[in-house]
Amino acid sequence: MAKMTKSQLADQLAGKAGITKKTAVQILDDLTAIAYKEAKNTFTIPGIGKLVLANRKARMGRNPQTGEAIKIPAKRVVKFRVAKAAKDAILGRK
């Protein structure tokens, strides 16, 4: 399967858990809302990974069209760190 949509994910979750698709969609929506709210403090989904906030330093970059040097300001970004268990399951153990 190339890309799983929210509807397809809810359908599989409903089938595995024996709940309705509507309930599965609500669970996904609630999980998303909690993740957005708690990302400031690091939000972890055990076995999958965690959302963390990181500060990115100011740096020099280039405009790809003109080649002109530009200053990119410092900013806060959200990063996702994949859990070791997920890496091992997906890539296989070395």
Model confidence pLDDT, tens digit, residues 59-93: 999 999 999 999 999 999 999 999 999 999 999 87
Query: Could you tell me which of 54, 90, 94, 92 has the C-alpha nearest to residue 74?
Result: 54
* Angle (deg, nearest 10), helices 6-17 and 21-38: 110
Contact 68, 32 (CB under 8 A): no
This prediction has a pTM of 0.73
CATH superfamily of 42-94: IHF-like DNA-binding proteins (4.10.520.10)
Q: Strand 59-62 relative to strand 43-45: parallel, antiparallel, unpaired?
A: unpaired
In the prediction, which pLDDT does 94 show?
63
Collapsed DSSP state (helix, strand, coil) of residue 57? coil
Model confidence pLDDT, tens digit, residues 6-64: 999 999 999 999 999 999 999 999 999 999 998 888 999 999 999 999 999 999 999 99
- Domain range list for the chain: 1-38, 42-94
- Residues 6 or more apart whose CB falls under 8 angstroms from that of 93 comprise none
